Amino acid sequence: MSDGPGALLAGTRRRGEQLPAQHTRRRARRPGPLALLAAVFALAQLALVRPVLGLGWDEIVYVSQVTSHHPAAFFSAPRSRGVSLLVAPVASWSSSTVLLRVHLAVLSALALYLALRCWRGLFPTRVLVTAGAFFASLWVTLFYGPQAMPNYWVAVGALFTVGCLLRHRADPAARGPLWGVVAGAALMAWMRPADAVWVTVPLLVTVLALRSPRLLLALVGGLAAGAVPWAVEAYAAFGGLRERLAEASRIQGGLGWQIAVDDQLRSLGGRALCRPCTGSMPHPVITLWWFVLPLLAVLGLIVAVRARRTLRTLLPLACATTSALPYLFMIGYAAPRFLQPAYALLAIPVADALWHLVTAPRGRWRPTVRALVALGLAGHLTVQLTVLVYTVDRNVDSRRDWARTAGELHRLGVRPPCLVTGHEAIPIGYYTGCSSGATSGNNENTTVAEIVRTAGRIPVAAFTGPGGTPPGYARDWPAHRIGGLEARIAPAPGSVPAG
479 strand-pairing partners: 488
For the chain, what is the mean pLDDT?
A: 91
Cα separation, 145 vs 45, whole angstroms: 7
Rounded distance between C-alpha atoms, residue 486 and residue 217, angstroms: 56
Each residue of 21-58: pLDDT tens digit? 455 455 445 559 999 999 999 999 999 999 999 999 99
At 29 the pLDDT is: 52
Q: Where are the domains of the chain?
A: 10-252, 399-489
* pLDDT tens track for 426-444: 999 999 999 999 999 999 9
| Cβ contact 201:193 at 8 Å | no
Q: For position 496, what pLDDT does the model report?
A: 47
pLDDT of residue 215: 95
Q: For residues 195-205, give the mean pLDDT.
A: 97
The pLDDT of residue 7? 37
Instruction: Say what the pLDDT of residue 494 is.
Output: 59
- Calculate what percentage of the chain has a pLDDT beyond 90: 85
pLDDT grade for 149, boundaries at 50, 70 and 90: very high
Nearest to 381 by CA among 195, 146, 130, 105: 130
HEC secondary structure over the chain: CCCCCCCCCHHHHHCCCCCCHHHHHHHHCCCHHHHHHHHHHHHHHHHHCCCCCCCCHHHHHHHHCCCCCCCCCCCCCCCCCHHHHHHHHHHCCCCCHHHHHHHHHHHHHHHHHHHHHCCECCECHHHHHHHHHHHHHCHHHHHHCCCCCCHHHHHHHHHHHHHHHHHHHHCCCCCHHHHHHHHHHHHHHHHCHHHHHHHHHHHHHHHHHHCCHHHHHHHHHHHHHHHHHHHHHHHHHCCCHHHHHHHHHHHCCCCCCECCHHHHHHHCCCCCCECCCCCCCCCHHHHHHHHHHHHHHHHHHHHHHHCCCCHHHHHHHHHHHHHHHHHHHECCCECHHHHHHHHHHHHHHHHHHHHHHHHCCCCCHHHHHHHHHHHHHHHHHHHHHHHHHHHHHHHHHHHHHHHHHHHHHHHCCCCCCCEEEECCHHHHHHHHCCEEECCCCCCCCCCHHHHHHHHCCCCEEEEECCCCCCCHHHCCCCEEEECCEEEEECCCCCCCCCC
| pLDDT score, position 362 | 74
Given a contact cutoff of 8 angstroms between Cβ atoms, the answer to whether 421 and 438 are in contact is yes
Q: pTM of the predicted model, to two decimals?
A: 0.91
Percent of the chain with pLDDT over 70: 92
Which of the four pLDDT bands, split at 50, 70 and 90, describes residue 495?
Answer: low
Residue 421 CA to residue 101 CA, distance in Å, equals 28
**The length of the chain, given as a count of residues:** 499
Instruction: Name 419's bridge partners.
Output: 435, 460
Closest CA to 254 of 339, 332, 139: 332
Instruction: Read off the pLDDT of residues 323-377 as tens digits, 9 standing for 90 and up.
Output: 999 999 999 999 999 999 999 999 999 999 999 999 987 777 888 899 999 999 9
Q: Are 110 and 156 in contact (CB under 8 A)?
A: no
448 Cβ partners below 8 Å, 6+ apart? Answer: 439, 471, 472, 473
CA 136-142-144 angle, 5° bins: 120
- Mean pLDDT of all residues in 160-188: 95
Q: What pLDDT, on the 0 to 100 scale, is given for residue 76?
A: 95
| Nearest partner of 99 among 32, 53, 158, judged by Cα | 53
* Residue 424 pLDDT > 90: yes
